[in-house]
Amino acid sequence: MSNILYLECNSGISGDMTVAALLDLGASEEVLMKALDSIPADGFSVEVTRVKKTGIDCCDFAVFLDAEHENHDHDMEYLHGHPHEHLHVEGHEHPHEHPHGEGHEHLHEHYHGGEHEHIHEHYHGEEHEHIHEHHHGEEHEHHHGEGQGHSHEHPHGHVHRGMKEIREIIAVVKMTDHARKLALRIFEIIAEAEAKAHAVPVEQVHFHEVGAIDSIVDVVAAAVCLDDLHIESVVVPKLCEGTGTVRCQHGVLPVPVPAVTNIVEKNGLNLEIMDVQGEFVTPTGAAIAAAVKTSDVLPKAFRIVRTGIGAGKRTYERPSILRAMLIEPAKTEEKGDKDCIYRMETNIDDCSGEVLGYVMDLLFEAGARDVHYHPVYMKKNRPAWQLNVICDEADIARMEEIIFRETTTIGIRRVKMERTVLSRESRDVKVGSGRVQVKVCHYGSESKFYPEYESVKELCRTTGRSYRDIYQEAVAACRLTMETGRVM
């Protein structure tokens, strides 16, 4: 089976949507439940069912909490300003119920949060997935479907967890080392985003959200499912987010919320704002995407091996679903794939080196595939520079505009060229305490590894290690992921 995963986040992404999509894709429910049963925390149960979203059959992954383990902070009063005030999106009223789409097989009234992502930590941020029902009976009993519910029902005090406690919990869960590292990485991404949002050190962020047991379940479950599918690379082209606002104790926050914008910014995720009101991307969902993404570019042509669809808990204009696809690049010529490119050139004899350097920066920023200069002699033996730009046809006008505006040239030549390129992909690998982007090119059965210069340079400056050492370690780490089929 293919080990390239494509996450189509056209309707956002959350923790439970990701788990559901991966289970639908073929991840072992038995392996998942064994891991969840080993979490050293009580008061929760999980259930996997089938639901329909606008008529589309989806997998649904739900976490239920007993009364002892619900949010005790005055029904999220600190997050909303007063009890029972829930997600506020301009122009939309959301009832305290959670429709599960058409034809839901089970009616449950204990979904705590839009995607049950309650990040209710002390610094008032993160997963404001706040559609809450409080139809709890006197006994606080939760009845789940036969054979599909897994419960942990032992009284336990309400706790606030930080990264130290999260690490201790993850350390004893029955999961592979690879899944454990991935789960910790996801939590670290969320913690860093919250720390930045509230200007506090990471270790001082005490999560009542990320530390809430349902969020721990989501993250552990996502890591276990990804590991069980032996995913080697993950393509995440973009995260689609809605518009509007959410109300918290300190006022109204825009969508996307600060934690999501921080995750997107730091991890280079592409964000697209839809003309739909609502919060579609949760911090946990964004963190999962950031932790596993190895590329944001799909193969030019590919075959879909299998598709999984995970359901969200909210009902918006656009169905709340996440599609996960196992894909294989389409077969191409063994020696490479042919395509066309344009080369633009012009001779310049009266611009300073500073100007030419600035122009090169602008051209790269505008999407040039390559820019270079080489010395030439013009008429009357005047020394000059020939500017060469390699770009796609769609970028020609933009490149010409920059060259004419910023240089003294009065003419630009261009020629269409065929080229043969090796199939390639981008991977993100762990090197010491940091991560490095590596370009992998394939020629027949041979793979070549090229760590990205800027990525290596940044880690060198952060760690004080030599460029050569980090480069070689990145190549070795990337080769290992290819051989073992694991995302590092």
Lowest mean pLDDT among 194-203, 243-252, 395-404: 243-252
Q: What is the 3-state secondary structure (H, E, C) of the chain?
A: CCCEEEEEEECEECHHHHHHHHHHHCCCHHHHHHHHHCCCCCCEEEEEEEEEECCEEEEEEEEEECHHHCCCCCCCHHHHCCCCCCCCECCECCCCCCCCCCCCCCCCCCCCCCCCCECCCCCCCCCECCCCCCCCCCCCCCCCCCCCEEEECCCCCCCCECHHHHHHHHHHCCCCHHHHHHHHHHHHHHHHHHHHHHCCCHHHCCECCCCCHHHHHHHHHHHHHHHHCCCCEEECCCEEEEECEEEECCEEEECCCHHHHHHHHHHCCCEEEEEEECCCECHHHHHHHHHHCCECCCCCCEEEEEEEEEECCCCCCCCCEEEEEEEEECCCCCCCEEEEEEEEEEEECCCCHHHHHHHHHHHHHCCCCEEEEEEEECHHHCEEEEEEEEECHHHHHHHHHHHHHHCCCCCCEEEEEEEEECEEEEEEEEECCEEEEEEEEEECCEEEEEECHHHHHHHHHHHCCCHHHHHHHHHHHHHHHHHHCCCC
Q: Nearest to residue 162, comparing CAs of 133, 122, 129, 189?
A: 122
- pLDDT at residue 432 is higher than 50: yes
What is the identity of the amino acid at 457?
Answer: K
For residues 331 and 85, the model is more confident at 331
- 34-43 residue pLDDT tens: 999 999 988 8
CA–CA gap between residue 3 and residue 9 (Å, rounded)? 19
Scan for tokens 């010409």, then name that residue.
400
pLDDT the model gives residue 273: 96
What confidence tier does 73 reach under pLDDT thresholds 50, 70, 90?
Answer: very low
Q: Please give the Cα distance from 343 to 363 (Å, whole number).
A: 13
Categorize the per-residue pLDDT at 252 as very low, low, confident or very high, splitting at 50, 70 and 90: confident
Residue-wise pLDDT tens digits, 169-208: 999 999 999 999 999 999 999 999 988 988 888 887 765 5
Residue 30: what pLDDT? 96
C-alpha to C-alpha distances, 13 to 32, 271, 356, 456, nearest whole angstrom:
20, 12, 43, 30
Find out whether 35 and 178 touch, Cβ atoms under 8 Å: no
pLDDT one-digit tens code per residue, 362-387? 999 989 999 999 999 998 899 999 99
Radius of gyration from C-alpha coordinates of the chain:
25
> Domains plus CATH for the chain?
4-329 (no CATH), 337-421 (3.30.70.1380), 423-484 (3.10.20)
- As a whole number of angstroms, the distance between CA 262 and CA 363 comes to 28
Report the amino acid identity of residue 147.
Answer: G
Per-residue pLDDT of 112-166, as tens digits, reads 333 444 443 433 333 444 333 333 333 333 334 444 555 554 444 445 678 888 9
Q: Is the Cβ–Cβ distance between 61 and 16 less than 8 Å? A: yes
CA distances from 18 to 97, 284, 321 (A): 22, 10, 9
pLDDT of residue 25: 96
d(CA 22, CA 37): 19
Residue entry with tokens 């967890």? 161
* Distance from C-alpha of 290 to C-alpha of 4, rounded to nearest angstrom: 16
pLDDT tens readout for residues 445-465 = 889 999 999 999 999 999 999
Rounded to whole angstroms, how far apart are CA atoms 122 and 129?
A: 16
Angle between helices 177-198 and 258-267 (to 10 degrees): 120
Residue 268: count other Cβ atoms within 10 Å of its Cβ. 11
How far apart CA 335 and CA 262 sit, in angstroms, is 41
Q: Which residue has the higher pLDDT, 78 or 186?
A: 186
